[in-house]
Amino acid sequence: MALTGLEIFKLLPKTNCKKCGRPTCLAFAMQLAQKKANLTDCPDVSEEAKNVLGAASAPPIKLITLKAGEKIFKVGEETVLYRHEEKFHNPTGVGVTIRDDLDGGAFSERLKKIDGLKFTRVGTEIGIDIIAVQNMSKNVEKFSSATKMVADNSHLALILMSDSVENMRSALDVCGNKRPLLWSANAQNYEGMARLAKEKNCPLIVSAPRLEELADLTEKIKSLGVSEMILDYNSARLKDVLQGLTKVRRAALKKNFRPLGFSTITYVKENDGYQEIIKASTYLAKYAGIVVLDVCEPWQIMPLLTVRQNIFTDPQKPVQVEPKLYQVGQANENSPLLFTTNFSLTYYTVEGEVEASRTPAYILAVDTEGTSVLTAYSGDKLNEKVVAKAMANAKVEEKIKHKKLIIPGLVAVMTAKLKEELGWEILVGPKEASGIPSYLRSTWS
């Protein structure tokens, strides 16, 4: 729980020596409480005060870092329950499993497939982050050779899945340049796992089917010197897990409950290709730090990664498309030219309707700093000068002969000024994008 100014004051030297640059210890304490000062400004502060204040100011959900060579994967340090309150910070990791009991050919084939799970959408590359090696064989050699194969051949971050401390240790010796995540410590093996995690400086997943047990385990493991943990609330029921993830997030953020102040992981096991992605998407939206799946078909992974792309979009920041001239279908110099703004939602809606019209066309995405048509117009981010500049930048004159520009119906008022500025004929399009197909069919045939 955050400390009040008075609570902090009690921990300070109370000498009012002013070395911190504040007139009194109390003034300094008040600023600390408001996070406007740094404890290091007071040279005389006691070790005890440092510990207490340090712990109180630590983020409520611990940040965990995995490494795969140069690449770093981070999870944790979330600050809100709902994305509209601020935003979600570290996108949920998506991982796919690989069993160590697959035979050589099947193993390398799957490894290659998993490693290649990336897609490009809305101009951004999205891909999975993690590969999880499962010690299904229970055999130590198989586990370490599978781990070595993965560590040497995959660019992804690594999770090692085994209940055996001994098997885990041998796999850890062949992880190369990766800093893996160990799955898992449970009520039976936590002492050994915690010691191993501490020795190898690796984060540790803690598994239990009840939150109370998880809280017990994290405290015990903490006392063994491991602070980097991730919680695995491993109930088989969808609703239990969903509620568990919410309870953990709320306990950490609303109650500052340290024993559950960690990110979470869920392993989705389903024999149904749809339910597996439904569950993974649900957990992803509602607070899982990492989701791990067995399935890896593009038609399953791409929607899941798109959910992540959507949910982790900063709601404060409008998403933009590159402001330029886009070609839809086999457009040529006689095709219609429409302009809209570079707010991606606006742009893609227009693009979708132009496509639906089956009329090849050009769409000019005008840079309005990612705002919608009306917002941009009323904020003067959309005026005849802005449109003229966009047309010049895109060299529209070289590509289109007819000198006719279709403008959004919502800004019909721009017609006269645009005509004057561009010397083009201005056609007022429909107010709603859904009117575009019929508009194009009736005006451009």
Partner 1 sequence: MEVPNVAEKWMGCVRKVTIGATKEQGGTRGNIVTVGGAKSIPYMDFEGEQGCKPVIAMDVLDTVPEDWPDALKEPFKDVLNSPAKWAKKCVEQYGADMVCLKLDSIHPDKGNKSAEEAVATVKSILQAVSVPLIIWGCEHNETDNAVMPKVSQAAKGERCLLAGASQDNYKIIAAVCLADGHCLVTQAPVDINIGKQVNILVSDLGFPLDRIIMFQTTGALGYGMEYVYSIQERERIAALSGDNLLGMPVICNVGYESWRAKEAKASDAEAPQWGSCVERGPMWETITAATLLQSGVDIIRMYHPKAVAAVKKFTQDLA
Q: How many residues bind partner 1 (CB under 8 A)?
A: 61
Q: Residue for token digits 């593009």?
A: 298
Least distance to partner 1, CB of residue 422, Å:
29
Q: Does position 415 bind partner 1 by CB under 8 A?
A: no
User: Looking at 27, 33, 302, 428, which residue binds partner 1 (CB under 8 A)?
Assistant: 302
Alpha-carbon span 39 to 53, nearest angstrom: 8
Least distance to ligand SF4, CB of residue 19, Å:
4
For residue 257, the partner it binds in partner 1, ligand SF4, none, with Cβ less than 5 to 8 A by kind, is: partner 1
For residue 298, the partner it binds in partner 1, ligand SF4, none, with Cβ less than 5 to 8 A by kind, is: partner 1
Calculate ∠ Cα 122-123-127, nearest 5°: 85
User: Looking at 148, 247, 324, 419, which residue binds partner 1 (CB under 8 A)?
Assistant: 247
Alpha-carbon span 263 to 431, nearest angstrom: 45
Q: Does position 44 bind ligand SF4 by CB under 6 A?
A: yes
Q: Residue for token digits 């100011």?
A: 57
Locate all alpha helices (DSSP H) within 94-138, ordered by sequence. 104-115
Q: Does position 5 bind ligand SF4 by CB under 6 A?
A: no
Q: Does position 317 bind partner 1 by CB under 8 A?
A: no
Q: Does position 22 bind ligand SF4 by CB under 6 A?
A: yes
Distance of CA 110 to the CA centre of its chain: 25
8 Å CB contact between 241 and 233:
yes
Q: Is 192 helix (H, G, I), strand (E, B) or coil?
A: helix
8 Å CB contact between 95 and 159:
yes
Q: Does position 12 bind ligand SF4 by CB under 6 A?
A: yes
8 Å CB contact between 362 and 333:
no
139, with CB counted inside 10 A (0-12, 13-18, 19+), is middle
Alpha-carbon span 124 to 120, nearest angstrom: 5
Q: Does position 275 bind partner 1 by CB under 8 A?
A: yes
Q: Residue for token digits 């095709």?
A: 335
Least distance to partner 1, CB of residue 70, Å:
26
Q: Does position 31 bind ligand SF4 by CB under 6 A?
A: no
For residue 373, the partner it binds in ligand SF4, partner 1, none, with Cβ less than 5 to 8 A by kind, is: none
For residue 418, the partner it binds in ligand SF4, partner 1, none, with Cβ less than 5 to 8 A by kind, is: none
Distance of CA 289 to the CA centre of its chain: 9
Strand partners, 103: none
User: Looking at 27, 224, 278, 427, which residue binds partner 1 (CB under 8 A)?
Assistant: 278
Q: Which residues bind partner 1 (CB under 8 A)?
A: 82-84, 119, 121-122, 211-212, 215-216, 219, 237-239, 242-243, 246-247, 250-251, 254-255, 257, 259-260, 272-275, 277-278, 281-282, 285-286, 297-300, 302-304, 306-307, 309-311, 313, 315, 345, 348-349, 352, 356, 432, 434-435, 437-438, 441-442
